[in-house]
Amino acid sequence: MTDITFANPELLLLLFVIPGLVVWYYYRLHAKESDVRFPTLLPFAMVKYSAKERLRHVPFILRMIALALVIIALARPQSTSKGQNVYSEGIDIVLALDISGSMLAEDFQPNRIEAAKNVAQDFIGGRTNDRIGLVIFSGESFTQCPLTVDYEVLKTLIKPLKSGMIEDGTAIGLGLANAVNRLRESKAKSKVIILLTDGVNNRGEIDPISAAQIAQSYGIRVYTVGVGTVGEAPYPVQTPFGIRYQMVPVEIDEKVLNKVAEMTDGKYFRATDNKKLRSIYQEIDKLEKTRIEVRSYRRYTELFYSFILVAVFLLIGDVGISNTWLRKIP
C-alpha cells in the first residue's frame, strides 16, 4: 500500500500567500490611470485584442504556479510504502489415539472411537502452520501418519481407523513412546502430544511413566485425555443371535494419566460424553496456538525533486517569454 505524506506539512500554509498575490496583481493592473483622457470609449469597443494582449498575464500565472510548486517541495512530499513481515513459530503435534476393543463402547455417539476420530479431524481442520502426526495403539503401536502439514491427507488416514487393525490390548506406554519418537528430532519451538485412551496400561514393553520421562527429557508436553462415562458403559457383544449389549465397568487409570501430564508440564482431561470431548480439544487448541510475530515497516521515497524541476522550467519559461515575445518597452 502506498500513500503520499509530507515531512513538513505546516509549510503548506504558505500556499495561502498565492491568493493574496493574485488580488494584489489584479488591483495593481486596474489601479493605473491613463494620462490620455477620452470623452468616450465607444471607438475602442470594436478593437480586437492581439495575441500578445490576450497572453499578457501568462508570466504572472507561470510565477504563481512555480511558487506553489516550490512551497509544496519545501513541505517535502514523500511516497510511503507500508508492509508487514510475518514470522510464525510452528508447533509439532502428534495425536496418539487408542483403538483398542474397549473403544467400541457406546457411552459416546456412535461410539468412543468414532467420536474421537471426529473430534480429531475437527482439531486438525482448525490448525494452521503446524505439523501434525498420528500414532495409533492398542496391544501394539505404529505410526499412521508422520508429521505433515498436508491436513487433508492426515484426515483421510484417520477415517479408516477401527478397532482390530492391530493386536488388542492397551499399551499406553508404548503408544506414548512411539509418539515421542516422532518428535524426538523435531526442531519446533513447541512439541506436543495429545494422548487419548479409555483404559489401563496392560500391554507393551514400556510403562507410561517411563515413556513420560523420555518425553520430559526432550521437552515434549503431553496432554492426556481419558474417555469414558462414570460407572458402566454399554458394550456391543457379538452372539449367535446377533449383537447384544452388556454393561461393562469403565476403568481409566486417571492417576497414571494425571502423572504423565504433570511430569511433562501438560494437563489431564476427563471426557464423559461427546460434548465434553469436543470442549477438551477446543481448550487444547487454545492452549497450543502458533505464535505469530508481525513486524510493520514503512519506506519513504522523496518526491520534492520533481516539483522543484517543474518549477525551474516554469521560471525559465517566464523569463524567456517576458524578455522576448511579451517584453515591455518603457
What is the edge-to-edge ordering of all strands in the sheet holding 190-197? 141-148, 131-137, 91-98, 190-197, 220-227, 267-271
3-state secondary structure of 233: strand
Residue 14, pLDDT > 60, answer: yes
The x, y and z cell numbers of residue 299, run together, are 519506506
Residue 86 has pLDDT above 80, yes or no: no
Q: Which CATH architecture has domain 91-289?
A: 3-Layer(aba) Sandwich (3.40)
The four Cα atoms 296, 300, 301, 306 give a dihedral, to 10 degrees, of 130
DSSP H or E segment with residue 209: helix 208-217
- Average pLDDT for the chain: 86
What is the Cα–Cα distance from 193 to 173, expressed in whole angstroms?
A: 13
Over residues 90-134, the pLDDT tens digits come to 799 999 999 999 999 999 999 999 999 999 999 999 998 899 999
- What pTM was estimated for this model as a whole? 0.65
**Residue pLDDT, tens place only, 162-171:** 999 999 999 9
What are the distances in angstroms from CA 164 to CA 34, 94, 204, 210? 116, 22, 17, 26
pLDDT-derived band at 50 (thresholds 50, 70, 90) equals: low
Which residue spans of the chain are classified as CATH 3.40.50.410?
Answer: 91-289
| pLDDT mean over 36-57 | 58
Round to whole Å and give the CA distance between 317 and 3: 32
Looking at residue 57, what is its pLDDT?
Answer: 76
How many C-beta atoms surround the C-beta of residue 97 within 10 A?
24
* CB contact burial 258-291 (16+ within 10 A = b; e otherwise): bbbbeebebbbbbbbebeebbebbeebeeebeee
